[in-house]
Amino acid sequence: MWLFNRIVKRFTLIALFISLGLISPVILAEPNTFPIGNADIKGIDEDINLPKTLTAEQAFSLQAPLYNAQQLQFQWTIQPQHYLYKEQFILIPATTQGFKLGETQLPKGEIKQDPSFGQVEAIHDQAKVNLPIERVDLSRSQLQVDVGWQGCQAGKNCYPPQRKRFLLTWANANANAPVTVSEVTLSEVESNTPLSKPAPVVRNEQDQLVDELKGQNIAVTLLIFLGLGILLALTPCVFPMIPILSGIIVGQKNITPRKAFGLSLIYVLAMAFTYTIAGVLAGLFGQNLQAYFQNPWILGAFSGIFVLLALSMFGVYDLQIPAGIQERLTHWSNRQAGGNWVGVAIMGALSALIVGPCVAAPLAGALIYIGQTGDAVLGGAALFSLSIGMGLPLILVGTMSGLLPKAGLWMEAVKRIFGIMLLGVAIWLIERILPTYVSQLLWAALFIFAAVLFGLFKPAHGKWQTVARGLGALSLIYGLILGGTAIWSHLHAPHNSQHNALAFKRINNLTELQTALKDANGKPVMLDVYADWCIACKEFEMHTFSQPAVQAALKDTVLLQVDVTQNSAEQRALQQHYQIIGPPAILFFDSQAQEQKTKRIVGFMPAAAFIQQLASPAP
């Protein structure tokens, strides 16, 4: 029995091996003939709800992006039981120069609690992301855009961040040129480096004002510009107009507070309308009208007018000028400085164009808005509101001038003071085209002349004359110091210039600037927009660029300067390209020759604030 059982087991094993040998070739040759085939395995997989692991490309299939209706459109197909994070969509253009980019439009997702990231917004099935891109500089033909995304498989694993790069190419320089979008192969390092969201863009003051205008909250916008105008009232934009208007009021006979208010209002309205019209034209056509009035002939003639007005305040016409000429001058003076409504309006308009060629952030913001949108109505209203704000202190001063008593020696003293102020305006105008030392000598002469008018060399009778003599002594001392300093500085100019001035390289047009940016070899670049007639530009030279701390902060920076004094077509083209309203403006470029717009400076800035602006991080 034992032997029989052993023989049966052996025959059974042999039969089993023979059966396997016969069946296995069939299984290997025809896998689907196996009783449980692939389809059945898939069915089992679905039945027991065990998702397969897909690659990131399979899980989130990005279709070829399209550019349509000034929008770059991306679309992902998302596999079941997978999702993309809304917060992880990142679109980064290589540059914004020449393009106007809108806010990225993201799809709405489902709020869920993620074990890794907490509360997130998940996108299922399909994701559409649009980036508005408008080509504002038609000479630009290409724009590179990087796109990043990240997602997870439900209940299993998360994929690493994904990244691709696309190149938009415009066929020609026409506004409606067709655009092709092609993928650019990333390097291995770039492929393994996920995109990070850019830091929030810090807007400079003029760009913030442009955004405020685009917000279309008209009432609030106009109030903001009115307040900014008041803040500008004691800057070179307005301050020189105070003695002009005061001289007009004081020169009027039988003036009343009501008439003084009316004259002041006419002057300010004429100034405001002129500012507005000039600003709208500048915004629409890129032409700074004030720049055309900053030439030696116009400045010299207008300066001469103020000298004549000052002499009339001193009574010189009555003392030294022949009767025939005196009559004409007196008649002209009475029409302009004596209260004629039309004459006052003309003086206000000319003051806006010639006396105050001011470029400040509020003015630049309004002009840029007009240039970008073509909306001359809202932009012009903002400029008018800004101008009225600048003129409110003028109306106050002019009205108060009408309250001054008109009889006695008191009025003669007041007229002398305003005469000195008008001479100061004349020097302030003409110094834009004079060497610095000559301007300082003129100011020194004015202070010495004021000392004489204050009665420094006359005996004092009474306490007020004693006070006047004291002021005259201070004026004389300051005038002598200023004059001596001017002469000494001029004699030592070569030595001083080596230590007190930045070594700028002059450029004349956009082509030279672009060449200089390429030749910078990765160094940061600063571009100073300068003009001889620009008072704030001279302030930069004297008070900011001459400071050792500023020079140390700029030691590794390539310094460029464009002189727009001549206001040539090439100079205007450069300013239009970078949306520069006028000098002074300082632009900063990074190592990639891209402007750091948040660092742009418009208007004068003292040394401490300038250094702080340099140190501010780029977005």
**DSSP 8-state secondary structure symbol assigned to residue 502:** -
Lowest mean pLDDT segment, chosen from 227-231, 263-267, 361-365, 439-443 = 361-365
Is 411:418 a contact under the CB 8 Å cutoff?
A: no
User: pLDDT grade, residue 455 (50/70/90)?
Assistant: confident
The string of pLDDT tens digits covering residues 173-202 is: 887 889 999 999 888 777 777 776 665 554
Q: What is the C-alpha separation between 335 and 506, in angstroms, rounded?
A: 46
Q: What is the C-alpha separation between 157 and 136, in angstroms, rounded?
A: 44
Q: State if pTM tops 0.85.
A: no
Q: What is the C-alpha separation between 270 and 329, in angstroms, rounded?
A: 24
The confidence score (pLDDT) of residue 205 equals 59
Q: Which CATH architecture has domain 56-191?
A: Sandwich (2.60)
Distance of CA 557 to the CA centre of its chain: 20
User: pLDDT grade, residue 287 (50/70/90)?
Assistant: low
Token pair 């020609």 in the structure block, residue: 172
570: which 2 tokens?
A: 């090439």
Instruction: Check whether 82 has a pLDDT greater than 50.
Output: yes
Dmax over CA atoms of the chain, in Å, equals 163
Percent of the chain with pLDDT over 90: 11
Q: What is the CA radius of gyration of the chain?
A: 38
Domain spans, the chain: 2-47, 56-191, 207-423, 434-491, 499-615
Q: How far apart are the first and last CA of the chain?
A: 95
The confidence score (pLDDT) of residue 339 equals 44
The string of pLDDT tens digits covering residues 518-562 is: 998 889 999 999 888 777 788 888 888 888 889 989 988 999 999
How many C-beta atoms lie closer than 10 Å to residue 523's C-beta? 13
**Topology adopted by domain 499-615:** Glutaredoxin (3.40.30)
The string of pLDDT tens digits covering residues 470-481 is: 888 888 888 898
Distance of CA 181 to the CA centre of its chain: 31
Q: CA-based angle 514:520:523, to the nearest 5?
A: 125
Surface-to-core class of residue 447, CB atoms within 10 Å of its CB (0-12 exposed, 13-18 middle, 19+ buried) = buried
Query: Residue 602 — φ and ψ, nearest 5°?
Result: -125, 120
Instruction: Check whether 26 has a pLDDT greater than 50.
Output: no
Cβ within 8 Å of residue 148, ≥6 positions away: 88, 89, 90, 91, 92, 161, 162, 163, 194, 195
Please enumerate, as own/partner, the contacts of 189-197 that have beta carbons within 8 Å and a separation of 24 or more: 190/163, 190/165, 191/163, 193/163, 194/148, 194/150, 194/160, 194/161, 194/163, 195/90, 195/92, 195/146, 195/147, 195/148, 195/161, 195/163, 196/90, 197/90
